[in-house]
Structure formats: structure tokens, C-alpha cells
Chain A
Amino acid sequence: MLLATRDELCSGCRTCLVACSLQVYGVVNPKKAALGIAAHFPAPGRYSVITCSQCGTCAEVCPLEAITRRENAYIIDERICNLCGLCISSCPQEAMFTHPDLSTPIKCILCGECVRYCPRQAVYDLHGEVSRK
């Protein structure tokens, strides 16, 4: 699968963020999500969904080689990562995040939970392998 977005469908509800944190970290916390929503209000009045494109820039720049590709997703090895932050500042999508509780950046692992529960199908699987429930 590969995440893609239709920004014009997003209503800014952040269900995707909660679904993500719960699936990946086992906690309810939208601040621990591997995607983001930017709201552009009062004008022009739209949302944009920020998702990882699995472009691999993070792996390229990681000085410790802590990020490697497994199947379709780039995954951070938390035993190696020292949270230097280079991947975060290098991410072309600005789709890597941090949280004070966590010792590595937050990065999409392509679990598909956001796709399954985005009510609007604003986040979807470009390959059509995963779809909204």
C-alpha cells in the first residue's frame, strides 16, 4: 500500500490521528500520530493532510543507518536511533514528528489504520489494497 490524500475531502476531524496513535503506540493521543492535518482558516478555509510518501529521504540522511526499508515502508530501529533529528528536518513532506515521551521520531509504518477509519476517505491507499471499513 501507499498513502495518498484528497485534501478537499478532509473535514479536519483528526480521527486518523487518534486511530494512528492507538494502533502504533497503544495509547489515545493524537500528538503521537505519524500523520498530520493542517487547517487553513479563516481563509481560504481548507485542510491539508500531511502523510509520509515512503520516499526514503529519511533513510538516506540518517547518520546511524537506523532507518531501513521493510516491504513498502521505511522503519526506524529504535535500538539504533539517537533522535538526532536530521530525518525530521530533511523530510520533504514534513511528515515526521516528535513527542516528549518518545525516544525516536514518529514515522508512518503503513499499518493502514488511518485509511480504514478516515470517514471521508481523504486518506486512502493509492494501490487500493486497503480501504475504509
Chain B
Amino acid sequence: MTTSMPGYAGRLLYVDLTSRQWETRPLPGDLAREYLGGRGFVARLLWDEVPTGADPLGPENRVVLATGPLTGLFLPCGGKLHLGAKSPATGGYGDANIGGHLAPELKGAGYDGVVIQGRSPQPCLLVIEDDAVRFMDATPWWGQGAIESEARLKAELGEAFQIMTIGPAGENLVKYACISHDFGRQAGRTGVGAVFGSKRLKAVAIRGSKDIPVFDARAAQAEGRRMYEVCFGKPGFEEWTPYGTAGVTDWVNEVGAFPTRNFQTTYFPQHTEINGRKLKERILVTDKGCFGCPIPCGKYSKVKVPRGMAYVEGPEYETIALMGGNCAVATIEEVGYANYIADELGLDTISGGNVVAFAIECYEKGLLTEAQVGRKLAWGCLDSLVFLLEKIARREGIGDLLAEGVKVAAAVIKGGSDKFAIHVKGLEWSGYDARYAPAMMLSYMTADVGAHHNRSWAITYDVAMGRKSLEGKAEKVVELQHIRPLFDVLGLCRFPWVEIGFELENYAAIFPLVTGWNYSWQDLLRVSERIWNLTRAFSAREIDHYGRAFDYPPPRFYEEPVPDGPAQGQLIPKPQLDELLDRYYRIRGWDEGGLPTREKLQELGLQFVVDTLGPKLS
């Protein structure tokens, strides 16, 4: 079909799993112009479609999948699919992002996004093949591993399908269950896999054959060529790619930010046994790139440990941090094997690594006993990890509580365990201890989904601007929180910019050639700010008393100085956290309680938010 909007497929797909009905609707022009795509579509469609107060694991919650205007094109790294839901982990706005080849396939099938609601009477698969949408019985795959399911579905449906699946953790509504694709890539965070599971949606399979319309195809081709050539010329193109994200492991230890034994400390002496070099030397099978990527971070590996042999994509840095250092696991093979177990079970390795480490620390402190757990737990013990991950995914024994995440588990276990339940807003902390990095700390405190680094990876700026200094840090975090999520809006991966210094102006240059819209980079950032305020408002709408109280790190980070390593003695006292928050809210145009003001919302074209939140706003 033709479209009046180049850069877009021009349609949204609405699916109701309860009735097994589906329909397509034209992509609204104002949605595209004001929210652009990806994360923007997710934020606005969740606001519009999810009823206030909806149970995140009930049929009325929605899962929104969305591509962006730069998805699937001839330019570096346009392979990202954004998806979101009201989060079962936090009760607020939740989203996650996945590479591989899903997003170009969905756009090629003729859809900019998919909105899924309801609950299937029995386990089901959603199959999208160009204009045809069908539902299949997933009973034969229910209970199977996420990667195993993908392999079997490819065998059944055909290699050409791009498939997203959940594992047992998603089926059993583990609050940090992920969605898996392409044999080891995940939409990891905020429990999107549990939302799939609550809808009894085992998998989505997509196949598309349509052209993606582009405003000026020849001009965009020329610009795309230039963009690739710029990437090929960057030093990092050759230097960064061989190690991928694992390559940062040594640096994070050197700056004293590496999660170690449930964030008890920030330097792991055996880090050189689990770094990018060890990955490459000992276990790498092939580099594995997402769609259009010249700098593949995906490292596909084969690991052997006494428990068994496994193929696994990774381990990536985050898994090395949270299942390696944070659980004190000290060989790359063991980290890789734990990664494989989590992937098959469909568990986010970031939250999963946090939860396991939290349980081991509880055990160490006598707050969990061998009788309660079902075995001894120990740091650096792969068997402890695998045991707990399997219990969690199946919600057996202690796993049923741990499946709720560290915030809920600490509230039940008590004994002061909340001080070392490492999360913000109910989402576990990713791979950077920030006690010696105020901008990174503020990034974690204020990320809309909870303690995730991808909204603002500010630690490099802490190192550049002064580790103790608060000066300019809040400004930098706000700036990054508009730039980085913009990649999720446009349907891109941010790594060319972050990792090899590919200039942001390149994206601004190609955007008008693809869409025909004369947006400047500043215009695009304005959209990103609109979305940032909308996701904050979504959480405020869904969670009572939402605001400042939800923006603090766990007490460990402001009460316990780092005991050793390069950050020895460091912490950020609570008054400084408040100073950071005060500055941050002021720059954002939010009140001191952490909610956007009416004026800010109106300035951003969010009058409908003012109308809904009304009395909560100042």
C-alpha cells in the first residue's frame, strides 16, 4: 500500500488475544509528527490505551511494539525494536529494547507498531506475515526454553521468520522475565516477558516483504553510504568491535564502579578472568550483528563447564557485571554458562544477577537459611546461581519470593535487607556502582523505568568532569536523558555514537531525507523531552504518591563507604543526593516533589496530561 508518510509503514496493528480479533488502523499523522516512533509511540499509546489502575499482569494491560522512522534503512544500526507495557516490576512506565532483525521485519510487513491486549484462553503464538495475521496454539511450546522455542518455531514456520519468545520465567510471571530473539538477544528489562506470559503469548513470529518508503531514496542512499564510510573510518571500528561491550570490564574496575558481591564493593580482583579479552581468547565462536550494524557487539560463544556445554550470545558486559562480579563468579566460562541458563529460562541477567546476589548476601547474613533456600549458597558458586535461577523461573520454594524482585523480597525477608536491595523504583540496578560518580548516581535515580543505565550513561562524564564534583552534573544528566532515548525513538542503536564516536549530526542529516520533515536536531531533542515528561506522568498516574520518594538509591549507596579498591571510602551522602535532585528538578521544570509543572507540560504540548493529573500538579 502507498503511504502519505515516508519513513513509516503507515499502519498500526491492534490485536486482542482474548477474542483473537485483530485490525489495522492508519498511523495517525499527529502521533508520528509529535512522537516520531519507537519509545515515543510506546509512551503515547500506553498512555492512551492502558486503563488507569490496570493490573500489569491483567488482560487490560497492553504490550506495545514499535519501530522508528529510521528503522530498517540503509544506514548504520537501524535494527532496534522498542516495546513497553505498564511494568509488573515497578507498577509504572516500563519499556525495553531489542536488536536483531525483528524491527526491520515488522516494518517490512507494513506496520510501524503493534498494540496487544487481552489474554488468550490457551497458550498462543501471534504470526504476522505481511497483511495476514493469525493465531496458533502454543501448547506444544509452553514450558520450553526461550531459545529452544525459537529454534523449533523456525523449523516449523520457516527460517525467514523473525521470532520473539518467552521462556518459563515469562510464563510463570517472574517480574523480571525478558523477551528473547535471534538466539540470545533480549528485551531484558521491566518485566515485559511477564506481560507476554500473563497474556499467554508464547511468541510473536514476523515475516515482511514490503518496501520501506523513503522520501528521497537516492539522496538517503547517498547519505547512508556516507554514514557507513564515516563509521569505517573511525579508530573504534577496528578497536572496539572485537570485544564488544565486554571490552569495558577492565575500565569499570579501574574506575571503581564494578558491581561486586551484591555491590558490597566496586572492584573485583579477578575481573581480568571475565573480561572481553578472555571472552575472545577462550569462548568466542562468531561475531553476531544486528540489522545494518557495522560494529557488532554480539559475541556468540561456546562454553564448557563441569555442569555441561552451551552456546550463548555473550556474555555481554551487563551479564559479566551482574552474574560475574556481583555474584563473584570468576571465569568467563562460568559467567557464560549462567548467561545461557538465564537466557533459556527467559530471565533478565541484570535483575537476575542482582536477585541472586541479594539472596547470597541474605544467606551470608543469616537472613535466609539453608532450610529456607534448599541448599547452601556461596559467592562464586555457579551451582548456587543455576539452582536459584531455576527455582525463580519456576517459582518453586524460595524462588517464588525471589521472582518478585529485590524490593518485594527485602520487604518480606526484613532484617535490614532493604539497605542492600539494590534497585530504584523496584527495578534492579545495572552494571555501574555510582558511589564515586554523582552524575551516574543521578542517572540511575531519575531513569524513568528504574535503575537502568541506558537513559544516561554519565559515568564517563563523572571521570572527565571530576569524580566528587556535583557541578554541571544535573545538566549533563538531563542532556543525556534527551539524547540517548532519542535513539530508541528513531529506531536506532546508540552504539555508533557511544562507542566509536559517530557524530550525532549524521542522524540529523538523514532524518529529513527519509521523512521529508524539516526537523532540526533540536526539534528532535524537543520530542525526546516531551516523551520524558509523558513517561514520568504515566507513572504518576498509575502509582499513588509517585515522585521524589521514588528517586532515591538504596541506603547502601549513601550510608556504606566503598570498602576497598579505587573508590575506597567513597559514597554520596544523602544531602548531596537531595542537592542533585533539587537541581535536576529545577532544570527540568518540575516541582520539588518531582512532578512536571503545568507550565512545563503545556509548553511541551501535553495539555491532556494536565487534564488527567490535574490536582496532583503544582
> Which A residues are closer than 8 A to B by beta carbons?
8, 11-15, 18-19, 22-23, 26-32, 38-39, 41-47, 99-101, 116-117, 119-120, 132-133
C-alpha spacing A117/B232, complex, angstroms:
9
When C-beta atoms are compared, the residue in chain B nearest to A116 turns out to be B225
Q: Which residues of A contact B217 (CB under 8 A)?
A: 22, 26-28
Tell me the residues in window 183-237 of chain B with beta carbons closer than 8 Å to chain A beta carbons. Answer: 183-184, 208-212, 214, 217-218, 221, 224-225, 228-229, 231-232, 237
Give me 7 A-to-B residue pairs in the complex whose CB atoms sit less than 8 angstroms apart, sorted by A's number: A11-B293, A18-B74, A19-B74, A27-B217, A45-B286, A45-B302, A119-B232
4 A-B pairs with least C-beta separation: A119-B294, A11-B289, A13-B289, A41-B183
Question: Is the pair B286, A117 in contact by a Cβ cutoff of 8 Å?
Answer: no
Query: Is B470 close to A, CB under 8 A?
Result: no
When C-beta atoms are compared, the residue in chain A nearest to B292 turns out to be A15
Question: Is the pair A99, B292 in contact by a Cβ cutoff of 8 Å?
Answer: no
Question: Is the pair B232, A133 in contact by a Cβ cutoff of 8 Å?
Answer: yes
C-alpha spacing A120/B159, complex, angstroms:
23
Question: Is the pair A13, B290 in contact by a Cβ cutoff of 8 Å?
Answer: yes
Question: Is the pair A29, B311 in contact by a Cβ cutoff of 8 Å?
Answer: no
Q: Which residues of B contact A120 (CB under 8 A)?
A: 287
Known: A29-B211, A119-B237. 19 other contacts (CB 8 A): A11-B286, A14-B292, A26-B218, A27-B212, A27-B217, A28-B212, A28-B217, A29-B108, A29-B210, A31-B208, A31-B209, A42-B184, A44-B285, A45-B300, A45-B311, A101-B211, A119-B294, A132-B232, A133-B229
Q: Which residues of A contact B182 (CB under 8 A)?
A: 41
Question: Is the pair B210, A43 in contact by a Cβ cutoff of 8 Å?
Answer: no
Query: Is B73 close to A, CB under 8 A?
Result: yes
Shortest CB distance B529–A (Å): 30
C-alpha spacing A31/B98, complex, angstroms:
21
Q: Which residues of A contact B287 (CB under 8 A)?
A: 11, 120
Tell me the residues in window 70-113 of chain B with beta carbons closer than 8 Å to chain A beta carbons. Answer: 72-74, 101, 104, 108
When C-beta atoms are compared, the residue in chain A nearest to B75 turns out to be A18
Question: Is the pair B285, A46 in contact by a Cβ cutoff of 8 Å?
Answer: yes
Question: Is the pair B311, A31 in contact by a Cβ cutoff of 8 Å?
Answer: no
Question: Is the pair A30, B183 in contact by a Cβ cutoff of 8 Å?
Answer: no
Shortest CB distance B298–A (Å): 7
C-alpha spacing A36/B214, complex, angstroms:
23
Question: Is the pair B286, A100 in contact by a Cβ cutoff of 8 Å?
Answer: no
Q: Which residues of A contact B311 (CB under 8 A)?
A: 41-43, 45
Tell me the residues in window 261-295 of chain B with beta carbons closer than 8 Å to chain A beta carbons. Answer: 285-295
Shortest CB distance B180–A (Å): 11
C-alpha spacing A11/B289, complex, angstroms:
5
C-alpha spacing A27/B48, complex, angstroms:
34
Shortest CB distance A101–B (Å): 8
C-alpha spacing A42/B204, complex, angstroms:
19
Question: Is the pair B228, A133 in contact by a Cβ cutoff of 8 Å?
Answer: yes
Shortest CB distance B271–A (Å): 26
